[in-house]
């Protein structure tokens, strides 16, 4: 299984997210050992992904993602100058912000 974003980009970009990925996930097992200074999450990490995963596709490269404080939404910044707001439960796009003049390199809630 290939993880192109992790293979071809700065691993520090993805390190903080690895702490929250389910324990048995292939991506966690493959990359977690590369990060010695990640916070250790003791409670709340699932053993594996649920019965399905959502694939949230963009028309262009994604440069930044973030979760809402309550975990119900994901926001993503894209090279095509857009920001998308996703429902983390359904994987549906709930909004697209398109007024940026350049690629969106950083997002946060």
Please tell me the distance from the alpha carbon of residue 27 to that of residue 2, in angstroms, as a whole number: 9
pLDDT confidence of residue 29: 76
Mean pLDDT value across residues 10-37: 69
Is 15's pLDDT higher than 50? Answer: yes
Residue 1 Cα to chain centre, angstroms: 17
Mean pLDDT value across residues 65-90: 88
* Residue 70 DSSP SS3: coil
Torsion 93-64-4-81 (CA) sign: positive
DSSP H stretches of helix in 19-73: 26-31
pLDDT confidence of residue 53: 61
**Domain spans in the chain, listed from the N-terminal domain onward:** 1-49, 59-109
Is 102's pLDDT higher than 80? Answer: yes
pLDDT confidence of residue 20: 72
1 falls in which pLDDT band (50, 70, 90)?
A: very low
């Amino acid at each position: 299984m290939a993880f192109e974003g992790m293979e071809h980009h700065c691993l520090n970009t993805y390190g903080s997210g690895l702490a929250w990925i389910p324990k048995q996930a292939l991506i966690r097992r493959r990359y977690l050992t590369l990060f010695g200074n990640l916070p250790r999450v003791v409670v709340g990490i699932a053993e594996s992904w649920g019965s399905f995963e959502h694939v949230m596709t963009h028309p262009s490269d994604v440069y930044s993602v973030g979760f809402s404080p309550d975990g119900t939404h994901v926001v993503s910044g894209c090279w095509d100058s857009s920001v998308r707001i996703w429902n983390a439960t359904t994987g549906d796009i709930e909004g697209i912000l398109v007024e940026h003049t350049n690629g969106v390199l950083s997002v946060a809630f």
